């Protein structure tokens, strides 16, 4: 039986989750046209009738050559104006308004070449993690806070949430996560051009997943801060409180095991081995009463880091997923991340 404190946190979590009244259950789609748009591996745009049989081969090929899957052409149109960096995404989508990347540049006065790309959580607004970026500045670290695809300035007209980034459209979700990883790496390119040589990534929730995959494929990353961790993208969506509207879209179409396999190409579990032999420092943060990144999945990440002897530290928050953004847990979380970055970058 759970104790009084755990029940209190759980009630608080569910109360916070219920405040969002604009969640939509969207119909299940294979999203063949989105997989076709990636270009590698090849996938026919009109394969919806055969998508289920073609997806395993697509996933296997992408995983076998993930360096190519997450590769991109260099960006040629970076523009910094009034602290806002913009550029064209090297991984264009089927939504033109989404393909202009926006990032806020918050430099520290004397950063000694230290900078982090900061990736907020799913459905973060335009101000998400700006406060955290400024707190990093106080620790002597510059921050480039990137807007994720389909969020804030990149959101298609008529949408109130970033449904195109994570939805019951299998192919579109893969495309969105791949675009996020590539846009993040393009941000690292820009930081390197500015002379920042001590580079890291900080991601929260969905941003944590993207940050991990980007770091795994980019040896320039010396430090990774993963704020809420889980092994498989599909497991979080299937079991998490915040994604139950997405989960309902899969009813009667595919199983949790199938979704885990289809989305393995956008899951941290597939790329842990790429960190072997690197001196990258990692901070894994999980919440003991998390209702979205269930603790069983967070513990799998920690055990995997231990078994692979990957350098890491672990911090456990005494709260849940939504309550991480509330005091006193918000301050506890932010200070832990900033101190780790200042010490290890």
Residue 145 lies in a domain: yes
Residue 1 pLDDT > 90, yes or no?
Answer: no
Residue 63 lies in a domain: no
Comparing 47 with 254, which gets the higher pLDDT?
Answer: 254
Residue 282 lies in a domain: yes
pLDDT in tens, 229-247: 999 999 999 999 999 999 9
Residue 239 lies in a domain: yes
pTM (two decimals): 0.96
User: What is the average per-residue pLDDT within 36-52?
Assistant: 90
- How many domains is the chain built from? 1
Residue 107 lies in a domain: yes
Residue 45 lies in a domain: no
Give the pLDDT score at 108: 96
Distance between CA atoms of residues 273 and 46, nearest Å: 34
Residue 236 lies in a domain: yes
Confidence of residue 49 (pLDDT cuts 50, 70, 90): confident
pLDDT in tens, 257-310: 999 999 999 999 999 999 999 999 999 999 999 999 999 999 999 999 999 999
| Residue 9 structural domain | 4-28+77-344
How confident is the prediction for the chain on average, in pLDDT?
95
CATH number at residue 239: 3.40.50.1820
Give the pLDDT score at 19: 85
Residue 219 lies in a domain: yes
Give the pLDDT score at 22: 82
pLDDT in tens, 115-172: 999 999 999 988 899 999 999 999 999 999 999 999 999 999 888 899 999 999 999 9
């Amino acid at each position: 039986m759970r104790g009084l404190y755990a029940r209190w946190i759980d009630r608080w979590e569910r109360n916070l989750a219920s405040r969002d009244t604009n969640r939509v259950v969207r119909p299940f789609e294979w999203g063949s046209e989105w997989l076709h748009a990636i270009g590698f591996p090849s996938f026919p745009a009109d394969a919806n009738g055969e998508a289920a049989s073609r997806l395993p081969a697509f996933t296997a090929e992408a995983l076998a050559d993930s360096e190519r899957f997450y590769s991109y052409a260099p960006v040629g149109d970076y523009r910094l104006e009034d602290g806002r960096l913009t550029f064209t995404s090297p991984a264009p989508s089927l939504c033109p308004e989404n393909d202009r990347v926006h990032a806020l540049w918050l430099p520290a006065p004397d950063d000694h070449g230290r900078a982090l790309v900061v990736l907020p959580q799913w459905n973060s607004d335009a101000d998400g993690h700006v406060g955290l970026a400024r707190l990093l500045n106080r620790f002597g670290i510059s921050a480039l806070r990137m807007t994720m695809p389909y969020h804030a300035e990149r959101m298609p007209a008529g949408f109130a949430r970033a449904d195109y980034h994570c939805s019951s459209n299998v192919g579109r979700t893969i495309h969105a996560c791949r675009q996020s990883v590539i846009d993040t790496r393009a941000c690292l390119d820009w930081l390197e051009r500015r002379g920042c040589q001590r580079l890291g990534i900080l991601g929260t929730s969905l941003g944590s997943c993207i940050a991990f995959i980007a770091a795994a494929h980019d040896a320039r990353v010396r430090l990774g801060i993963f704020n809420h961790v889980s092994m498989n993208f599909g497991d979080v969506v299937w079991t998490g409180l915040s994604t139950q509207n997405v989960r309902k879209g899969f009813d009667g179409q595919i199983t949790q095991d199938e979704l885990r396999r289809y989305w393995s190409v956008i899951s941290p579990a597939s790329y842990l081995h790429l960190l072997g032999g690197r001196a990258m420092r990692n901070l894994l943060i999980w919440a003991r009463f998390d209702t979205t990144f269930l603790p069983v999945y967070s513990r799998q990440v920690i055990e995997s880091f231990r078994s692979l002897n990957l350098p890491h530290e672990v911090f456990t928050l005494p709260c849940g997923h939504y309550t991480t953004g509330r005091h006193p847990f918000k301050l506890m979380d932010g200070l832990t991340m900033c101190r780790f970055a200042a010490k290890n970058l």
